Structure 1
Amino acid sequence: MKYIHFGLSLFVFLSFFCACSVNRQAGYSKVASKEKLADDSLLTLIQKHTFNYFWEGAEPNSGLARERIHIDGNYPQNDQDVVTTGGGGFGLMAILVGIERKFITREEGVTRLSRIMSFLEKADRFHGAWPHWLEGKTGKVKPFGQKDNGGDLVESAFMAQGLICVKQYFKSGNAAEQQLAEKADALWKEIDWSWYRKGGQNVLYWHWSPEYGWEMNFPVTGYNECLIMYVLAASSLAHGVPAEVYHEGWAKNGAIKSDSEKYGYKVVLAHNGAPGSVGSLFWAHYSYLGLNPKGLKDRYADYWLLNKNHTLINREYAIKNPKGFKGYGENAWGLTASYSVNGYAGHSPQEDLGVISPTAAISSYPYTPEYSMQVMRYLYEKLGDKVWGKYGFYDAYSETDNWYPQRYLAIDQGPQVVMIENGRSGLLWKLFMADPDVQKGLHKLEFKSPELK
């Protein structure tokens, strides 16, 4: 079965936008031709602009990240006020980066995060899990698809990852900060992971709807972007799952392992059960915004090797450039799920449409810092305003098709802020891995890590 996260209902996204380019919107500093910045300065600039997607660009009532922001103003389905659970969770972590980098004050961060917690407390939930999309003004579910109108356990796991980091960041602060930490802790602990076993099966299901029940029928098995969901399910004290759910469901009793290689790099785990394929690069990001892959191992994989090799394979593919697309190479690589010339697509070496998604290489910064910096410099110094705007680099572009849409997606912007910070300071990794419940969950699943006590 073929996964494209944020794309189980891929038809929802097809034909969302035309390939036209529009005039630049004011409100940010345009890129001077061949402008040279020190690495640290460039990283901070990218973080700050991208952070503003979650700060200035947030939906005002909820305080959460909008699903998408189109600078050209041409929105599909009138959803400019729709907020995203997964991207919102990434946004929580981005706000913590904003505080640490002094883009905002600590007090400003607490105020915004407190508003978000109040919204999440009142928003629609289904056995503790939020839906993929919520109406920002009301907190009511906005269906992602006809039958996808209930709980989304994967998106909720991404939110929970952020909530745990918020809790850890503020738990020893002043009274207001401790109250914020308690609310964040309570929210993630209300997710009933055990319900999503669909009657006690040893696997977790992605969706449940009060109207359609289990009709989406999507048991989540590895390997893809969903490892964090199983880790958190094992970590929950009140609504947790036994280790067998991970080993039998996610890892398929060991069938998740792969002996295949690409360009001399071990693939390590079978991507969606296909040993010879390599999935979209966001698989190396979403679960690892908080979960630190450095030294992380279990009976199936060395997760640092897994993610680093995934990144190196992606880069080497662009250098080989078997389809001859314009602009591909050591300065421009990165295939991941994003907007595409004819809709939304899960770009990968198996589905290469000539589209580069900046988040792919940028969010891989911890794995390949020098190579990722090469891409950032090419995008910023060479392509400049074609790909750079108010909230950082636009979601995707194609030099082959001369296609440079001025559009952003929360789920692609968030990992850039967070993973750059993890590569620089390890901030989110330290917060998440220090959580006592996460530690217990990782021990339950027999993980090894230098950060486990």
Structure 2
Amino acid sequence: MHLQLNLDTQLDVIQQRTSSYFLQGAHPVSALPYDRLVIGRRAPNDLVSITGAGFGLLALIVAMERGFIDGGEALNRLDRMLETLEKTQRFHGAFSHFINGTDGSCVRFTRIDDGADLVETTFLLQGLLSMQQYLADRSGTEAARRRIDDLVTGVNWRWFARDEHEALYWHWSPRHGWKIDQRISGWNEALLTYVLAAGAQDHAIEGCTYHEGFARSGGMRNGGTFYDQTLPLGPDFGGPLFFAYYSFCGLDPRGLQDEYARYDDQNVTHARIHYAYACDNPQGYSSYGPGCWGLTACHSSSGYAVASPTNDTGIIAPSAAISSLPYLPEEVLQSLHFYRYYQGGRLWGPYGFVDSFCPHTGWAARTCLAVDQGPIICMIENFRSGLLWELFMSAPQVRRGLKALGFSSPHLE
């Protein structure tokens, strides 16, 4: 009991401190989270990532539930967030990768990526749908729930399947059309895109679009063995760890399965491979081991980078291991202690853990990223209470989508 109390206190502290990124550190006009913050400095611009906004909504739920924020203040923040999202330019209902946090205007990601980003939109909808379910039994929130519904149902998923309906496509621009020409194919972080697209109230895709497009008619299977772990899906060694938690902040992987995999097995195996890789430490990096493991997309000394066991430059993001808490609790708890006290608390700041560090060279980021801070709060909460899983899996769109694609889950029984 004493150990459990200590653990609960520790997780409370981490969630509350990390929620500061989305509360005290949020944009003063829209209350949406900045894409990134540098500790000790003002935000350098008004940039908000749409995925970060989705995690911001999930973080707001946890903050309300845990008493980190007063309910009235939280609903006021939600009103400002929705107001900005409502006036944001959308493209067949989908949002762009980045928006301006002051006025909601689209900010191009690259020269030709200046329109819709369907996967980023998916993670925003994950937050919106979870919030809608959280407010379902709260009086006085009917208007907010209707506003959320308008944003969710506005996405024309079928448009992004183009004419052949063999896959969904990631990007579309009114200036450049389908020039990026990127299919959303797995295995990666985008399973949820197909679930929401299949369960949409309007403009839903057909099941074949998932099976041929994302699952690639079974081509996303792996079946290889890495560190004595048989990996059901994805690239060798599993790829970056965000594959295991971006879609699964809301989707409950426990007992979730289709003809390609059981998804709790997939995610646990993925995390175990990362843990075993760090313990093996084939490149001989300093500090890799039971307390220091997990490779994902994060800030590096040379900019944003996507790390994995097959692309390892020695940059560790605390979010990678911490967001794996529901999968490998004992291993993650070792990491919490390591990160918290590394070099006298160097990784611990006003917004929780810094985004990343390189123990081999001694470099540590001074930044935090919304897309990394968010999963820390969400996956800790799912480990503790399953709250976000329960909310999201209760949404009608999610239930319809899973059934349409042939999934089974205890939530569907």
**TM-score using structure 1 length:** 0.88
1:172 CA displacement:
2.0
Partner of 1:62: 30
Which of the residues 413, 426, 431 maps onto 2:373? Answer: 413
SS of the aligned residue for 1:300 comes to coil
Output the aligned Cα RMSD: 1.3
Which of the residues 167, 170, 195 maps onto 1:231? Answer: 195
Partner of 1:174: 139
Partner of 1:326: 286
**Paired amino acid for 1:212:** H
The answer to which structure, 1 or 2, has the higher relative contact order (CA under 8 A, 6+ apart) is: 1
Distance 1:90 1:74, change over 3 A: closer
**Paired amino acid for 1:210:** P
Are 2:113 and 1:148 aligned? yes
Show the 5 A alignment for 1:47-446. 47-71=15-39, 73=41, 78=44, 80-175=45-140, 177-271=141-235, 276-446=236-406
1:148 CA displacement:
0.6
Contact 1:395 1:409 in 2 (8 A): yes
Q: Aligned partners of 2:65, 2:103: CA distance in 1, in Å?
A: 31
**Paired amino acid for 1:81:** D
Contact 1:278 1:350 in 2 (8 A): no
Q: Aligned partners of 2:409, 2:120: CA distance in 1, in Å?
A: 25
5+ residue gaps, structure 2, are none
Partner of 2:10: 42
Q: Deviations over 1:8-45 (max 9, x none)?
A: xxxxxxxxxxxxxxxxxxxxxxxxxxxxx921111111
1:223 CA displacement:
0.2
Contact 1:165 1:290 in 2 (8 A): yes
Contact 2:187 2:234 in 1 (8 A): yes
**Paired amino acid for 1:268:** P
1:382 CA displacement:
3.7
Q: Aligned partners of 1:249, 1:384: CA distance in 2, in Å?
A: 48
Write out the 4+ residue segments of structure 1 that deviate beyond 3 Å after TM superposition.
Answer: 72-75
Q: Aligned partners of 1:186, 1:213: CA distance in 2, in Å?
A: 25
1:263 CA displacement:
0.7
Q: Aligned partners of 1:98, 1:328: CA distance in 2, in Å?
A: 33
1:449 CA displacement:
0.4
Q: Aligned partners of 1:352, 1:427: CA distance in 2, in Å?
A: 34
SS of the aligned residue for 2:364 comes to coil
Q: Aligned partners of 1:327, 1:84: CA distance in 2, in Å?
A: 32
Contact 1:189 1:236 in 2 (8 A): yes
**Paired amino acid for 1:398:** C
**Paired amino acid for 1:279:** G
**Paired amino acid for 2:24:** E
Q: Aligned partners of 1:173, 1:200: CA distance in 2, in Å?
A: 43
Distance 1:172 1:200, change over 3 A: farther
Contact 1:389 1:406 in 2 (8 A): no
Q: Deviations over 1:130-188 (max 9, x none)?
A: 1000011111111110011001000000000111001101022112x122122112211
Contact 2:237 2:273 in 1 (8 A): no
**TM-score using structure 2 length:** 0.97
**Paired amino acid for 1:38:** N
1:446 CA displacement:
0.7
1:437 CA displacement:
2.0
Contact 1:194 1:200 in 2 (8 A): no
1:286 CA displacement:
0.2
Q: Aligned partners of 1:405, 1:129: CA distance in 2, in Å?
A: 32
Q: Deviations over 1:321-369 (max 9, x none)?
A: 0001001100111111101122221110001111110000000111111
The range that moved more, 375-384 or 314-323, is 375-384
1:303 CA displacement:
0.2
1:277 CA displacement:
4.1
5+ residue gaps, structure 1, are 1-36
